[in-house]
Structure 1
Amino acid sequence: MLRRKSKRTKEMNAELNITAFMNLMVVLVPFLLITAVFSQVSILNLNLPTGTSDALPAEEDPPKALEVVIRKDKFDVLERNSGLLKRIPNNEEGYDYKELNAFLQQVKAHPEFNTDTGVTLLMEMETEYDTLIQTMDAVRLIEREERELDEQGNVIQGELFPNISMGDAPPEDNQATNSPGANQ
């Protein structure tokens, strides 16, 4: 005789127990919110070239214009009309932002530039983004050895040349024949 197994279907009334998961979420969510690092986004207005080459009427005394050229191995600080003011070579760590900032503080103290707020950053095509940002910080703000604090404990920073324009650096070999910063 053959025995047949009885095919009874057992109905299981199963409930989903999510108590342990909810306990984990109650602890985990506040912990993640407390330890999260919120990034601060700041906006810096830049003056970009328009691309038009309309000739300006010739002036007797052209205005002073400060330019910082970012090369792969140095900074060149120029005055558009008179030429090179200072060449700052890279140090062991890379670009010498402190030397650039210190020299621009000396330039800002000069009577011809003490009311000027604009500077043009000219960079080569291979310039890294981080280099550009650090150069902009060195050009915009006064870096001091001693930190001065206000009433709320915030660091007081002075401004050097906050109005920054950007453009492409002229080829280095043409600097000797053409005026620095001239559009090629």
Structure 2
Amino acid sequence: MKLSIGAGERRIEGFLSVDIDAALHPDIVADIGRPLDLPDASVECLFCEEVISQIAPEACLGFFRECRRILQPGGVVRILTPDLARFTRAYLERPDWLREIWHRHVGLPLLCDTAAEVLNLGLRGVGPFVYDRATLRCLANSAGLVLHESAFNESLHPAMRGLDMRGPEETLTMYLELTVA
């Protein structure tokens, strides 16, 4: 079984969609902040794009523990999530690019059209917690998972190669993968 977690309206061929919002008609309605109703070692891979920031670290640790429980041997969890370090570096070093990304992909009006507005609104809009690698590595290790650096459209699992929606010049995303320790 392959899962697309927090799928929203996006459907990926060969993946079951999982979302908390039943109105989006996912294959599985589930809150990733709670135990998943799936058998142990039943999932080959999980694709999580722009969803981890929707849960606080305590819930993320619980989700990672569930991932470890449901992953088959050799399974992979792919995580694409806003990168706090990249976000803050962009604010300090590339403010015009940050504003451009906001206008192109978010489109909400800015009162003064400044990078400070983008940083503040972006951090609040992403979800309750914007992660960095160190925090995700800590949570993964605590759950018995190993964090691996990845790259746009690359994956340790062939089924997840080429699924990423936006490349590094279009987003503040970090590309990571988790495997069982």
TM above 0.5, yes or no, is no
The TM-score normalised by the length of structure 2 is 0.29
Structure with the higher fraction of residues in strand conformation: 2
Larger Rg: 1
TM-score calculated relative to the size of structure 1:
0.29
Give the number of the structure whose residues are more often helix, by fraction.
Answer: 2
